[in-house]
Structure 1
Amino acid sequence: MTIPIRNLYYLFCYAWERYPENGAVEVGIEDCPDLPNLFAQVLVNGLNRLLRRGLDRQYLSAEDELRAPRGRLLLDETLKSGSLDRGAVVCRFDELSVDVLHNQLLKATVRLLRCDALVLPHLSAALSAVEKRLSWVSDIRVTTDLFSRVQLSRNTGQYGELLRLCEFVWRAAMPQEGGDGSRFGDIIRDEIRMSAIFELFVQNFFRLHAVGYTAGPENMRWNVDRNGSGDHSLIPIMRTDLTLRSDTRILVMDAKFYAEPFRWSHGAPKINSSHLYQLYAYLKHAGRGTTDKPVAGALVYASPRGRSIQRYQIDDHDVTVATIDLSQPWPAVHADMLDVLHPSSAATSDRQPTVPA
């Protein structure tokens, strides 16, 4: 799937809850030829802003030999080390430091991208300059579980978007043959990773733009008769990608990212039946307890070529199947997304999906 860099930038901005004001694009983004360079540019821009504001500092416990005692005197260590002969004592004290986990993860990601062969020389130099300004931060060996250990506060909220970028970079980096260094896989072809990004994009797009709706994933329980003898704990919970609720309507959405949204049968495109079954189950449960509100559904696909918005009536439910062409200019992508939310015959395209060459 070919997606312009500008659109990838918007896609990740929405996914990571970093909404560009008035559609503005950061400096240098348009010149990025691929994702590693896009991530490098966003990281450089973000860290330069962060460094201007000042890195987050926290109190860390330290132990050292001091001539001017402070904190807690460690008598045993002082005697064993012979510090008194040097006119000093060993103390344990709290010290305000930038050498904390979230700064360490940022520095490690800077180094990872700086060493990537795909990153352009001027961006590699910019990353090196940023790395030098992080000299007080320790080098660590990154494992992806470290990101879940980071605890941010209101005062460190500006770290959130950068750490989400860093985590994605580390998960996308693939070991090179022989175990030396790392390189990026073809992220756009990775349907698992890009499905997660596209799902977050759809969620946050409608959270921001669906005026009059509450929007978010929902857990739904199957309408199982309590008189049955089966073990009810075995029944799984359904979780929607996105459920939008207003005073007059309920809309359940399922977001999909595939190289080919539709299956092909005898040379003709067909909607994936399992996707329809899944959406149908959501529709039958989303309106429980609200008999006065119509329940509609939408399958929203990222499309490799051409847009298509098809509308159906299935068992009294309005169902929209939309393929969003991410290769078109972003204003058109934005308009097509809103068209899924607000059906309009003037904005609807009946174009059939293009048969791949």
Structure 2
Amino acid sequence: MERNSNIPIRNIYYMLSYAYQTLNLSEYKEIGTENFENIQELYAEILSIGIPVLIRGGLSKDYISVEETSNVIKGKIDINSTIKKNTLVNKKVAVVYDEFSEDILLNQIIKATLIYLARSNKINQKMRKSFYGLLPYFTEVSDVELDLNLWKKVKYNRQNIRYQFIVDVCRYLYEQLLFDESSISQMMKELQDEQTLSSLYEKFIYAFFKRETSYKVSKSQIQWNVDDGFADALPIMQTDLILQKDNKTLIVDAKFYSENMAARFVGGAAKQKSSNLYQIFSYINNWKKRPDETVAGMLLYAKTTALNQPNHLYNIKGKQVFVVSLDLQQDFVGIQENLLAHANRFFTEA
């Protein structure tokens, strides 16, 4: 299988820069001039700079529910717990109350990551010491066992959005080290790398067009164009990117795969992936367009080293579907130029 495993680390840095504008802060400027031997070094360097930035800004706090036995009544008395624990013997009751605390999931993830990195032999000694030196700032934060499921529970809001970049990088680095240190097969590790880079690729594509073009950029959900209004149990159509200008709309779906085209048997002719085509065709057919609006779809694949790469334009029932690829191994200037050219191909045509 041809994989996207040879993306230059410098390009991954640029993708991160677009996907997370936090990386444009002055504290990170020197990272762009450094050379890293592997992606783990890049992630670790980002965390060694970014976590102290979070600490200087003050660790986020939120109200958490606290349960304890006390001879002072505060919050609510838990009658059942009081009886079960027989606390009245000692003239105490079980109480439940809210406390404004640093002991929240986001801080727990960062603390657990620091502990993990401080002990990992995959990180150089100097970096391990720097991570260990940050732990005293998290003394009020509970210890949790680091697990990929922790990130699924994270929710962001206006108060804690500054954590998103660092917490995501914590996950990227943990995944890299976890699979390096385990006995999991090389194929499984490559699939995990692919999933991580796929998420970053989608974020990058969206942020690039948001920052570098004058298009109206969004990533809305598309509602099914049902006849009777009944849409229960229909899958959500969540777009990666929608570009709009004047009376033209381009719906883009970013794809990061091991293989961009498929053959039914070894040596057979490479074909478009049917599920991807069905998906983008559903998007453009269910888009509620204005009478004067032209709507098209684009499948934007990250290029692999396979001989056959998507580079096609289909006209199906009066709708255009572009199927193209983007070479992430080229110089980043070329990446920028290719992205603009792919979009302009639709928006500049008569």
Residue 146 (structure 2) pairs with residue 125 (structure 1) = no
- Percent of residue pairs bearing the same amino acid type: 27
Residue 46 (structure 2) pairs with residue 50 (structure 1) = no
Q: Report what 1:350 is aligned to.
A: none
Residue 196 (structure 2) pairs with residue 196 (structure 1) = no
Is the contact made by 1:187 and 1:194 (CA closer than 8 Å) also made in structure 2?
no
RMSD: 4.4
Deviations 1:306-335 (A, max 9, x none): 997845251343433221111112222122
Residue 343 (structure 2) pairs with residue 321 (structure 1) = no
**How has the CA–CA distance of structure 1 residues 336 and 64 changed in structure 2, closer, same or farther, with 3 Å as cutoff?**
same
Q: Please list, as runs of the form range in 1=range in 2, the aligned pairs for 1:1-357 lying within 5 A after superposition.
A: 1-15=5-19, 17-18=20-21, 20-21=23-24, 26-28=29-31, 30-58=34-62, 61=66, 97-150=101-154, 152-170=156-174, 173-174=178-179, 186=189, 190-221=193-224, 223-226=225-228, 233=232, 235-263=234-262, 266=267, 269-286=270-287, 288-305=288-305, 310=311, 312-315=313-316, 316-343=318-345
Deviations 1:170-226 (A, max 9, x none): 5563496699xxxxx7457643343333223223333333423132142231x4544
Whose relative contact order is higher, 1 or 2, with alpha carbons under 8 Å and at least 6 apart?
2
Report the CA distance between 1:343 and its aligned residue.
2.0
**How has the CA–CA distance of structure 1 residues 126 and 268 changed in structure 2, closer, same or farther, with 3 Å as cutoff?**
farther
Is the contact made by 1:243 and 1:250 (CA closer than 8 Å) also made in structure 2?
yes
SS in 2 for 1:323: strand
Is the contact made by 1:44 and 1:130 (CA closer than 8 Å) also made in structure 2?
no
CA distance in 1, matches of 2:27, 2:61: 31
CA distance in 2, matches of 1:161, 1:233: 35
**How has the CA–CA distance of structure 1 residues 80 and 232 changed in structure 2, closer, same or farther, with 3 Å as cutoff?**
closer
Q: TM-score, normalised by structure 2?
A: 0.74
- Bigger CA drift: 45-54 or 167-176? 167-176
Counterpart of 2:293, as a letter, is K
Is the contact made by 2:68 and 2:96 (CA closer than 8 Å) also made in structure 1?
yes
SS in 2 for 1:282: helix
SS in 2 for 1:343: helix
Is the contact made by 1:254 and 1:300 (CA closer than 8 Å) also made in structure 2?
yes
SS in 2 for 1:140: coil
Report the CA distance between 1:338 and its aligned residue.
1.7
CA distance in 2, matches of 1:150, 1:246: 35
Counterpart of 1:47, as a letter, is I
- Bigger CA drift: 18-27 or 245-254? 18-27
SS in 2 for 1:244: strand
Counterpart of 1:285, as a letter, is N
Structure 2 alignment gaps of length 5 or more? none
SS in 1 for 2:14: helix
Report the CA distance between 1:276 and its aligned residue.
2.8
CA distance in 1, matches of 2:179, 2:62: 33
SS in 1 for 2:345: coil
Is the contact made by 1:259 and 1:303 (CA closer than 8 Å) also made in structure 2?
no
Structure 1 alignment gaps of length 5 or more? 84-89, 180-184, 347-357
Is the contact made by 1:257 and 1:302 (CA closer than 8 Å) also made in structure 2?
yes
SS in 2 for 1:31: coil
Counterpart of 2:256, as a letter, is F
Report the CA distance between 1:111 and its aligned residue.
1.8
SS in 1 for 2:21: coil
Counterpart of 1:127, as a letter, is F
CA distance in 1, matches of 2:207, 2:23: 13
The structure with the larger Rg is 1
Is the contact made by 1:109 and 1:169 (CA closer than 8 Å) also made in structure 2?
no
Report the CA distance between 1:257 and its aligned residue.
0.9
CA distance in 1, matches of 2:192, 2:158: 36
Report the CA distance between 1:64 and its aligned residue.
9.1
Q: TM-score, normalised by structure 1?
A: 0.72
Report the CA distance between 1:301 and its aligned residue.
0.8
**How has the CA–CA distance of structure 1 residues 42 and 64 changed in structure 2, closer, same or farther, with 3 Å as cutoff?**
farther
